[in-house]
Structure 1
Amino acid sequence: MKTLVILTRNPLSLIGLILVAIVVLSALLADFITPFPEHVGAVVDFANFNKPPQWPNIFGTDLVGRDLFTRVVYAYRISLILGVVVLALAVPVGVAIGLAAGYLGGWTEYVLMRITDVFLSIPPLVLAMSMMGLL
């Protein structure tokens, strides 16, 4: 409860909290808030292709006539699931490396901490781009 009080005191953190809540709620309620839930898969509607934003397509349509708002809201689900999976895999690995470095000490700690320093010295965007280049 104390954390919520601290978050609500800062207007920018409150705005961020509201935006995250909107994204999470829209991902959870995607079946109910999207006007065309059938446009998620491989649907083609050439009668409505490349339309500008209008009612009921509030973001418009893409080149094959699918509603962009529906696709964005359903993409929230994929992004949130991917974030949770990555955290579920990365946190235990990081904890294990930290525990090994702290418990074993000596040479092991030195090597593990220098590897960690190398990763921390590379900007995240450059690291992500180089990893994508390897794939």
Structure 2
Amino acid sequence: MKSKKYAVIVIVIILLVLAAVMMMGKRPFRSLKAEQIASMTVTLTPPDVTIELEPEQIQQAATLISQIVTYQKDQSYTDYAGQGVIFTITMTDGTKHSIMGYNPFVVIDGVGYRTKQEPCEQLNRFANELLG
């Protein structure tokens, strides 16, 4: 009887740990540095304006993008209306990435994710300040 009780406790603890790990977010661009970026643009929709970023702006954007936290995949962002800011990054190795901040979502290379609100909001604010 005691061994069954301990087995149940161990299983519950394992399930709680697994649930906690699944709820933790990921930072897909954690190691992004401005030195790795050849060029970057940001497109704001609306008003459908694209801005080429200067080196100091790329540094700021890289810092903000590195702080993005993603959770589970979620394509329901297409059901929402609002402003999206799309950062198009061309890396020095020639690869390209598209990152759209669309709170409470972030879309990375066409795949939508739920995101932590604060970093995504900072990214949107930064893009809108560039417009001004």
Instruction: Report the TM range for the smaller structure's normalisation.
Output: under 0.3
What is the TM-score of this pair, normalised by structure 2? 0.24
What is the TM-score of this pair, normalised by structure 1? 0.24
User: Which is bigger in relative contact order (C-alpha 8 A, separation at least 6)?
Assistant: 2
Structure with higher Rg: it is 1
Q: Which one has a larger percent strand, Structure 1 or Structure 2? A: 2
